[in-house]
Amino acid sequence: MLTVNNVITEKDTIAIELKEKILNLKSKIGIIGLGYVGLPLAVEKCKAGFSVIGFDIDPFRVGMISDSNSYIGDVADEDLRNVVSKGQLTATTDFLRLSECDVVIICVPTPLTINRDPDISYIKAASEKIAENLRQGQLVTLESTTYPGTTEEVILPILTKTGLRIGLDFFLAYSPERVDPGNKQFTTQNTSKVVGGITPVCLELAYTLYQQTIINVVPVSSTAAAELTKIFENTYRAVNIALVNELMMLCERMGIDIWEIVEAAGTKPFGIQTFYPGPGVGGHCIPIDPFYLTWKAREYNFHTRFIELAGEINVEVSNYVVQKVVRVLNDNHKSVRDANVFVLGVAYKKDVNDLRESPALRVIELLRAQGADLSYHDPNIPVIEPQDGSTVFLTCQPLTDELLAQADCVLILTDHSNVDYNQVASSARLIVDTRNAMKNVISNRDKIIKI
């Protein structure tokens, strides 16, 4: 492991002053972007004793925070109220206040363009705002997932246009977020944090910052190494999910239960990590991050065939689910056109209220295109509004025996824990289960079709 302590010497007077502020919890932290990453991070820093200013372009978010109302599932209202009432956390749309901050952390979205190329416009906009208010003695860190080279090739030139010197006057690092929404076991505090700096002094300061709130901080040799670490983590997951999804489609032809295979293989104590099949991949990371790497690879005349194939499979599996519904309806003497399909669960993963890149949106669009009549129930998603190219607009329906019985098919796309699956089995006429949510249901199993 890299050695990061004691790199700062007596001549680094600005760095010494900043490090002492960090160690004494006197440094004021600014966080740009108060979404799924930024708000939990802000609260965590406040709990450690720091004072935090949260910056966002959305006045709704700023107002919610000021009123101590959390819009992020992983941040309890009580925790937010505690840090806001003490004055530790304030939120604003006024980016001029960046000059008040000793540390500025960028947590903005990094989506894909319509051509599936990286869209780092939010990173650039945040960097420009920082540059307009940059002063001596500030540490800037980027946490948004991005391609290797972004921190050094994009952010650094914007900040150095001010005339301030990197590693002497101001400091720049990259430390990727590792948030897993809905995960109660691994939180911001107990999830290891990777960090890389533009210079050794930058690294030491960023390492010191994250050590104050995170149990294990892992330094790497450069910001590009830290950026690639994050991309690799999510690409690893995308590839393995694609593998089990492909196996699922093969198992159907072979008449073998994929869930039995996965669970049996998972009993091996070494050499395998369990991944589960499903209707596709969702969330901000897995469907997007691998394409950041494939885009960057083209700069080196390298074709990432494995990664791109995984992406194709994870999209194709949504089509597979739709065709499965069509076949099941046909087997029950019902055309998909005008069929009443009741979707159970639309969040991208269980027990979260996040719709970003959810495969449920693709499946609903595809079924609608074939003439099906769609409705849904999700205890965490009260309404589906058009987003990310999806035109779906639906309102959550109650999970009643009457609605279940009226449906020609109940399609389980997200296996939330707070759903009564025995009720579903008792009332539904036909169930297509893409998540093995009905595995513990004993009665009426003849209604259940697993993928």
pLDDT at 383: 96
* Strand 383-384 versus strand 394-395 pairing type: antiparallel
Same domain, 115 and 17: yes
Same domain, 375 and 305: yes
Mean pLDDT of 237-262: 96
Same domain, 203 and 340: no
Q: Which of 191, 221, 251 is the last residue of a domain?
A: 221
CATH, residue 55: 3.40.50.720
d(CA 338, CA 346): 21
d(CA 349, CA 279): 11
d(CA 160, CA 135): 11
Same domain, 126 and 262: no
Model confidence at 396: pLDDT above 80: yes
Same domain, 146 and 244: no
What is the phi/psi pair of residue 435, to 5°? -125, 5
Name the strands in the sheet holding 340-344, side by side, starting at the edge strand that comes first in the sequence.
373-377, 340-344, 409-412, 431-433, 448-450
- The number of CA neighbours under 13 Å toward the Cβ of 179 is 24
Residues taking part in catalysis: 285
Is 286 in contact with 234 (CB distance < 8 Å)?
A: yes
Q: Is residue 421 part of a domain?
A: yes
Q: Which of 221, 255, 278 is the last residue of a domain?
A: 221
Model confidence at 375: pLDDT above 90: yes
Place 226 in a pLDDT band, splitting at 50, 70 and 90. very high
More confident site: 240 or 451? 240
Give the torsion through C-alpha atoms of 177, 183, 184, 186, to 10 deg.
-40
Place 187 in a pLDDT band, splitting at 50, 70 and 90. confident
Is 167 in contact with 199 (CB distance < 8 Å)?
A: yes
Place 179 in a pLDDT band, splitting at 50, 70 and 90. confident
For residue 289, the Cα-to-chain-centroid distance in whole angstroms is 10
Is 355 in contact with 384 (CB distance < 8 Å)?
A: yes
Query: Of 2-16, 102-116, 165-179, 326-340, where does mean pLDDT reach its minimum?
Result: 2-16
More confident site: 51 or 114? 51
Q: Is residue 2 part of a domain?
A: no
pLDDT at 1: 60
Q: What is the pLDDT of residues 151-160, one digit of tens each?
A: 999 999 999 9
| Residue span of the structural domain in which 32 resides | 13-221
What type of residue is 345? G
Place 442 in a pLDDT band, splitting at 50, 70 and 90. confident
d(CA 240, CA 275): 7
3-class DSSP state for residue 347?
Answer: coil
Is 294 in contact with 308 (CB distance < 8 Å)?
A: yes
Task: Give me the residue label for tokens 């074939």.
Answer: 370
CA end-to-end span of the chain, whole Å? 44
d(CA 447, CA 432): 9
pLDDT at 293: 94
Same domain, 270 and 409: yes
List, in sequence order, the alpha helices (H) in 134-222.
Answer: 150, 156-160, 200-211
Q: What is the DSSP string of 355-412?
A: -TT-HHHHHHHHHHHTT-EEEEE-TT-SEE--BTTB---EEPPP--HHHHHH-SEEEE
Residue 340 burial (CB count, 10 A): 16
C-alpha closest to that of 216 among 174, 270, 175, 273: 175
Name the token pair of 370.
């074939």
Same domain, 189 and 247: no
Is 444 in contact with 427 (CB distance < 8 Å)?
A: no
* Strand 373-377 versus strand 170-174 pairing type: unpaired
pLDDT at 339: 97
Same domain, 100 and 214: yes
What is the phi/psi pair of residue 404, to 5°? -65, -40
Q: Which of 221, 249, 281 is the last residue of a domain?
A: 221
Q: Is residue 213 part of a domain?
A: yes
Q: Is residue 1 part of a domain?
A: no
Q: Is residue 173 part of a domain?
A: yes
Q: Is residue 3 part of a domain?
A: no
Same domain, 352 and 206: no
d(CA 102, CA 25): 11
- 178-184 contacts, C-beta under 8 A, 24 or more apart: 178/230, 178/233, 179/36, 179/37, 179/40, 179/74, 181/36, 181/73, 181/74, 181/283, 181/349, 181/352, 181/354, 182/73, 182/74, 182/349, 182/350, 182/351, 182/352
How many distinct structural domains can be found in the chain? 2
Q: Is the pTM of this model over 0.85?
A: yes
Q: Is residue 231 part of a domain?
A: no
Q: What mean pLDDT is reported for the chain?
A: 94
Q: Is residue 129 part of a domain?
A: yes
Q: Which residues of 58-88 are buried (b: 16+ CB within 10 A; e: fewer)?
A: eeebbebbeebebbbbbbeeebbebbbeeeb
Same domain, 160 and 283: no
C-alpha closest to that of 50 among 34, 80, 28, 70: 28
Q: What is the pLDDT of residues 127-151, one digit of tens each?
A: 999 999 999 999 999 999 999 999 9
Cα dist. 300→36, 119, 443 in Å? 33, 19, 57
Model confidence at 182: pLDDT above 80: no
C-alpha closest to that of 317 among 286, 341, 295: 286
Same domain, 138 and 78: yes
Same domain, 347 and 417: yes
